[in-house]
Chain A
Amino acid sequence: MAENGTEGTQLAGARLLVTPVNPLAEATVALVREGFPEDVLDVVEHRGETTIIVRPERIVAIGQALRDAPALRYNYLADVTAVDWPEREPRYDVVYHLLALETRAVIRLKVRVGDEDTPDPELPSVTPVWPAADWFEREVYDLFGIRFAGHPNLTRIMMPTDWEGHPLRKDYPLTGFQLPEPHWGGQVPLDEALPAGTGQQTLRTTDGSEHPNRPVRKGEGEM
């Protein structure tokens, strides 16, 4: 039994549920590096989870290679999501979680897109490789504004179809904006002095400056 820190205790010999380490992670990384040598930007391994950071243009080809590789067969796309890092350029990380059903291997692919010149970045869609990507990519488009080329139906999926703006971007205020009456939505201002749209509850701004509404903590003094 593999060592898991329980020797000498009552649980010695038991199989504990720990974060599953993908035994095929190294093989996966090797396959990607071998097939796409200039497209792998980085490989990160943290607490048993492996992430491969690749170039955006090659994500479809890499996805297809991973899906069709006879030993690996990552045939299950578990999730496509995005992260907004407003102070960083490129701004968004689009994250793909892949799972191989027969071998239970898991791997994460990341792609970095978006900068000053392309506020609405575009990236190829992986729906030809995994049809499950359809709704995941619609969600990323709806909430972040990242477009997917070749997507069969890139429309909003969570927000109402006539919504303006992409809510999960860090510079989209939690309050939303004053919406026309048929929406019946929008936030009640927390403090009467703050009209809707200015009571921003995310503390980050795109250029890294201090947000004017950021509360000053005790002991901070003049910043």
Chain B
Amino acid sequence: MPQGGDSGILLTQVNKLIDWGRSASLWPATFGLACCAIEMMSASASRWDISRFGAEVFRASPRQADLMIVAGRLSVKMAPVLRRIYDQMPEPKWVIAMGACASCGGVFNNYAIVQGVDKVVPVDVYVPGCPPTPEMLLQGLNLLQEKIRKHQPPPPDPLKFAASRYLGSED
């Protein structure tokens, strides 16, 4: 067995195979909240066909999915539900924030809309647009696939930071 940090040639190839497998078969759990969901549906329909890229089925159950596409504006009332669905997904999991509202609150800079879902879940890829065209979503998916294959580090979980603030430690 190889010693030290280097896994050796054989395991590197196996890791590469695993990464390719993960990236090429990302099954989304839909979190279609608002208008972006329509474009997500278009992306999964025949013309733009997201299953060309491996997202063969949109699993209704988060326990069977590894990608969560948050499509649409997240309201303050819905935020705990989003977090719960995210927590129910098994590792490894990734999140795409689709659209302006999911990325940063979009046009809704007010009391009721969470200003970016990265306050609630860690986001890997942000897709801008209002709504993004299906091609933009597909590019976002491709970027995520490259990210997985290149082993780029995952984003920090926002709630872990919030919790530390909550428990009294100063920033």
A: which residues have CB within 8 A of B?
A: 158-160, 167, 173-177, 179, 181-188, 190
Closest to A174 in B: B110
In the complex, which residues of chain B have a beta carbon less than 8 angstroms from the beta carbon of A181? 162, 165-166
In the complex, which residues of chain B have a beta carbon less than 8 angstroms from the beta carbon of A188? 105, 109, 115
Which of B79, B105, B109, B165 has a CB less than 8 Å from the CB of A183?
A: B79
Q: How distant is the Cα of A184 from the Cα of B109 in the complex, in angstroms? A: 13
Q: How distant is the Cα of A159 from the Cα of B112 in the complex, in angstroms? A: 8
Q: How distant is the Cα of A191 from the Cα of B122 in the complex, in angstroms? A: 26
Closest to B111 in A: A176
Q: Mark B91-124, 1 if CB is under 8 A from A, else 0.
A: 0000000000000010001111111000110000
Which of B112, B162, B165, B166 has a CB less than 8 Å from the CB of A185?
A: B112
Which of B75, B111, B162 has a CB less than 8 Å from the CB of A187?
A: B111
Using a CB-CB cutoff of 8 Å, which residues 7-35 of chain B contact chain A? none
Q: How distant is the Cα of A179 from the Cα of B113 in the complex, in angstroms? A: 12
* Interchain CB contact under 8 A, B111 and A186: yes
Number of residue pairs A-B, CB distance < 8 angstroms: 50
Q: How distant is the Cα of A185 from the Cα of B114 in the complex, in angstroms? A: 5
Q: How distant is the Cα of A183 from the Cα of B80 in the complex, in angstroms? A: 8
* Interchain CB contact under 8 A, B109 and A185: no
In the complex, which residues of chain B have a beta carbon less than 8 angstroms from the beta carbon of A167? 111-112
* Interchain CB contact under 8 A, A184 and B111: no
* A contact patch SS: loop
Instruction: List 4 A-B pairs, minimum CB-CB distance, nearest first.
Output: A176-B111, A185-B76, A160-B77, A184-B79
- A184-B120, A188-B105, A188-B115 given; A159·B77 CB < 8 A: yes
29 residue pairs A–B, Cβ–Cβ below 8 Å: A159-B76, A159-B77, A159-B112, A160-B76, A173-B111, A174-B109, A174-B110, A174-B111, A175-B110, A175-B111, A176-B111, A176-B112, A177-B111, A179-B111, A181-B166, A182-B80, A183-B79, A184-B76, A184-B79, A184-B114, A184-B120, A185-B112, A185-B114, A185-B115, A186-B115, A187-B110, A187-B115, A188-B109, A188-B115
Closest to A177 in B: B111
In the complex, which residues of chain A have a beta carbon less than 8 angstroms from the beta carbon of B162? 181
- Contacts A179-B76, A181-B165, A184-B79 known; list 20 others, CB within 8 Å: A158-B77, A160-B77, A167-B111, A167-B112, A174-B110, A174-B111, A175-B109, A175-B110, A176-B111, A177-B111, A183-B79, A184-B114, A185-B75, A185-B76, A185-B112, A185-B114, A185-B115, A187-B110, A187-B115, A188-B109
Q: How distant is the Cα of A159 from the Cα of B120 in the complex, in angstroms? A: 18
In the complex, which residues of chain B have a beta carbon less than 8 angstroms from the beta carbon of A158? 77
What is the distance, in angstroms, from B110's C-beta to the closest C-beta of chain A? Answer: 5
Q: How distant is the Cα of A173 from the Cα of B109 in the complex, in angstroms? A: 12
* Interchain CB contact under 8 A, A190 and B109: yes
Q: How distant is the Cα of A176 from the Cα of B76 in the complex, in angstroms? A: 12
In the complex, which residues of chain A have a beta carbon less than 8 angstroms from the beta carbon of B114? 184-185
